[in-house]
Chains A and B, each alone.
Chain A
Amino acid sequence: MRLSTRLILLCAGFMISHASMADELPQRWVSAGSALSEWVNALGAESKLVGVDSTSQHPQSLKALPSIGYQRQLSAEGVLSLKPDVLIGTEEMGPPPVLEQIRSAKVKVEMFSAEADLPTLKGTLEHLGELLGDEAKAVQLFKAYEQQLDEQQQQVKQAQANHQAPGVLLLMSHAGGKPMVAGKNTAADWLLTQAGGRNLATHSGYKTFSVEALAGLNPEVLVLADRSLSGEEARKALMKENPILASLKAAKEGRIYELDPTLLVGGLGPRLPASLKQLTADFYPETSANR
């Protein structure tokens, strides 16, 4: 009897201490960053998310959560109404006075860097793992990620040993408007280079190009990063509207590919390696055909 009582007490003690440990970890999460939401999901904690911002579009299931609006225009009361324990976001999150108000309501506000490089991602994942109480999984995810990128780089190296890097342009077109071309110092430029392409645009940032300038560069490959341009029909319409596009080498050889534009914002996300591999395969069709 006495033994069982002790046992029960001991068990109860364990449970309480365990419960209190779990209590310290934030249980209700609000995420204001597309890549961050994806990582939380990849770490198996989607069920902890109670709200996301308007840039968090992946996976699809996130769209069912309450939207806290655009990451730079958060509303203090809106976020607080979700009773979160923690608000995560990139340094783009704001405005600052709202973050201050949220902090003063004893909600943890965790800022991550949106820098697109591996050391930053490592830090981000480690911190997320800590907050979720699953550091091991975070480390494992990062290793796998690093390996995937390594493999992809190998793929690029192999391809470049036998073939010249193709000249590429990445177009973002706001539906109906003139296409904007991704230049240097953009996430798109980094992506193209990483995938083994040679970005022909030399300006910095995203700028609209005259079709003449496009024709002058005559890219071998075009990458379209725009949801309104996905699908064969939309592409045909774009060619019809801009006849010069159809005269480009890329169009003649049918080398126009799509890229999900959400990959271009908010730092390195979990879907990136797969997309990079696909792009590399598209850039070097000969190599991938041989394999």
Chain B
Amino acid sequence: MRTLVKPRPLFIGLSALCLLAIWLSLALGPVSLPLFDTLRAALRLVGVPIHGEGLEQAELILGQIRLPRTLLGLAVGGVLALSGVAMQGLFRNPLADPGLVGVSSGASLGAAIAIVGGSAIGGLPEAFGPYLLSLCAFLGGLGVTALVYRLGRRNGQTSVAVMLLAGIALTALAGSTVGLFTYLADDATLRTLTFWNLGSLNGASYARLWPLLFVTVGVALWLPRRASALNALLLGESEANHLGINVEGLKRELVFCTALGVGAAVAAAGMIGFVGLVVPHLVRLLAGPDHRVLLPASILAGATLLLFADLIARLALAPAEMPIGIVTAFLGAPFFLYLLLRGRH
């Protein structure tokens, strides 16, 4: 199959873009730090004792605000794109996205319960409070996905079609439950809920970052090992079976990785749409459907897209901040359309 870009130049290009995005994400923000100060603050962060005027402030902004935010963006973007590949591979459909197995709607439901009903859930230890929303979102995503998977299983076989339909039904159910909470909410909570649904990397802290990084690295190391199996699955389930692939095990792994990855990403940064659906698609348009390239390239592309989107989110309306969910689609959709139309001629 002919591809637009060969794997090697693709990886070199994506890595360069990703490094550029990381650098910009560390160097730019509403507070304008001179380049020299940024570099010196970075050295201070790694323990080199440099002193100078305003360096303390620069170190704080770099170390406590921009670095965790950049890492969060990398992890969220990477894991969302990767989950997208897993879902499109599982359903053998480029239109699939992680929402299909119910992880997004489940997380949304968890978040709505936490935001609207949070104060009503009494008796929680206080240290728990700040993480209640993240925890509920994560558990909600995991729970609904587990249910969808369970519903798709019969006689030791998982029917992807039944899973798909069960996912749609549970998404609708979760959606109307969220609607009920929306009805019960007052104006302020309603607004919080709306903002959560648009996602944000704002207020990233290391405490929220570590669990997500852990999950992301795990999933990013695990899924690429299944690249050949995913390639075989492209031919069809029975064909993959005949090729000696444990299809049932593969399905379970894909669903589990997606639930874990998207659940953790959403718990840390709220709902960020578009990345999971379009990034894998985009990479496929550039480099073809081979999962050995698609999986790692999607991680890089997703992380890069999210960092660039976040740059716009934090700079466009500074000192105010725009939800990143708005930007990802604004940024990615036109580019995606361009690639689509170009591929047609």
Contacts and interface: CB of A to CB of B under 8 A. Distances in A.
Interface of A: 51, 54, 66-70, 72-82, 92, 95-98, 100-101, 104-105, 205-206
16 contacts: A68-B319, A68-B320, A72-B191, A72-B195, A73-B202, A75-B319, A76-B202, A77-B29, A78-B319, A78-B321, A79-B319, A81-B31, A81-B32, A82-B319, A101-B205, A104-B60
A104 B64 contact: yes
B314 interface: yes
Interface string B292-331: 0000000000000000000000100111110100000000
A73 B200 CA distance: 9
B80 to A, nearest CB: 21
A67 to B, nearest CB: 5
Given A68-B320, A75-B321, A78-B321, 9 more contacts: A69-B317, A70-B191, A72-B195, A73-B321, A76-B202, A76-B203, A82-B319, A95-B203, A104-B60
Contacts of B179: none
A101 B203 CA distance: 8
Nearest to B130: A96
Contact of A206 (B57, B186, B191): B186
B314 A78 contact: yes
B205 A78 contact: no
Which 9 A-B pairs have CB atoms at the shortest separation, nearest pair first? A69-B320, A78-B319, A75-B321, A81-B30, A97-B203, A98-B203, A81-B31, A77-B29, A78-B30
B321 A72 contact: no
Nearest to B32: A81
Contacts of A51: 319
A79 B320 CA distance: 8
A161 to B, nearest CB: 36
B32 A77 contact: no
Interface string B66-87: 1000000000000000000000
A97 B205 contact: yes
B319 A66 contact: yes
B186 A67 contact: no
A95 B64 contact: no
Contacts of A78: 30, 314, 318-321
A268 B341 CA distance: 57
Contact of A95 (B29, B65, B202, B318): B202
A77 B30 contact: yes
Contact of B61 (A74, A77, A95): A77
Nearest to A81: B30
Contacts of B191: 70, 72
A70 B195 contact: yes
Contacts of A66: 319
A69 B315 CA distance: 12
A82 B320 CA distance: 11
Given A68-B320, A77-B31, A77-B65, A105 B60 contact: yes
Given A66-B319, A70-B195, A81-B319, A75 B188 contact: no
Contact of B64 (A69, A81, A92, A101): A101
A280 to B, nearest CB: 26
Most chain A CB atoms below 10 A, which of B60, B195, B202, B317: B202
Contacts of A101: 64-65, 203, 205
Contacts of B57: 105
Contacts of B126: none
B187 interface: yes
B192 interface: yes
A35 to B, nearest CB: 15
Given A73-B200, A81-B31, A97 B321 contact: no
A96 B204 CA distance: 11
B208 to A, nearest CB: 8
Interface string B28-40: 0111100000000
Nearest to A67: B320
A72 B188 contact: yes
Contacts of A81: 29-32, 318-319
A205 B188 CA distance: 12
Most chain B CB atoms below 10 A, which of A51, A54, A79: A79
Interface in B166-214: 186-188, 191-192, 195, 200, 202-205, 208
Contacts of B320: 54, 67-70, 75, 78
Nearest to B29: A77
Interface string B153-171: 0000000000000000000
A261 B323 CA distance: 25
Given A75-B30, A78-B321, A105 B187 contact: no
A75 B66 CA distance: 12
A69 B203 CA distance: 14
Nearest to A95: B203
Contacts of A80: 30-31, 61
A14 B306 CA distance: 56
A154 B34 CA distance: 61
B188 A92 contact: yes
A204 to B, nearest CB: 10
B187 A206 contact: yes
